[in-house]
Amino acid sequence: MPLEIKNIYFTESELRRALVNFATLKKQFVELEDVEKTIVNKANTVTVSLHVDQALGVKDDKIQFSHAEVAASLFAFCMVSKIPLPKKGIKELHANDKNVFLTIRLDEEVNFEKYVISSGIKNSSSIKRKP
């Protein structure tokens, strides 16, 4: 049973871009230039706060994103950036000291009854062709 594990790491600027675009769905309109600081909280679940310019009039000068919102914004970022995400598989959001990242685990079932290695393998480069 092959197991594939894929990690997709995001830079701080990619994370900011994804969250700023996602904020529009929350009816919070902010530009990338308005974000002064990004704070990633990785205690129990990954949450992110964007500290923004005071002139925007946002409560406490920050926009907070839940674990699900951060994950959804990064999935959308991957789709727009044409980073392949399998439909199947377990998708998880994580953070370390440097990056926020998605982990995708794909555990494939293999039908070994159909798995056959034949002894008749031919190398097409060794076949002489007529001019």
DSSP string spanning 79-106? HHTT----SSSEEEEEE-SS-EEEEEEE
Question: How many structural domains does the chain have?
Answer: 1
Whether the Cβ atoms of residue 23 and residue 52 lie closer than 8 Å to each other? no
Whether 130 maps to a domain, the answer reads: no
Whether the Cβ atoms of residue 63 and residue 83 lie closer than 8 Å to each other? no
Whether 131 maps to a domain, the answer reads: no
The tens-digit pLDDT sequence of the chain (131 residues) is 678 899 999 999 999 999 999 998 888 888 888 888 999 998 889 999 998 877 777 777 888 999 999 999 999 999 999 998 888 889 999 999 999 999 999 887 766 676 666 665 555 555 555 65
Q: Quote the pLDDT of residue 31.
A: 85
Whether 42 maps to a domain, the answer reads: yes
Whether 43 maps to a domain, the answer reads: yes
Whether 23 maps to a domain, the answer reads: yes
Structure tokens that stand for 128 in this block = 């002489």
Whether 20 maps to a domain, the answer reads: yes
Q: Quote the pLDDT of residue 129.
A: 57
Whether 101 maps to a domain, the answer reads: yes
Whether the Cβ atoms of residue 52 and residue 34 lie closer than 8 Å to each other? yes
Range of the domain at 36: 3-107
Q: Is 63 exposed, middle or buried (0-12, 13-18, 19+ CB in 10 A)?
A: buried
Whether 56 maps to a domain, the answer reads: yes
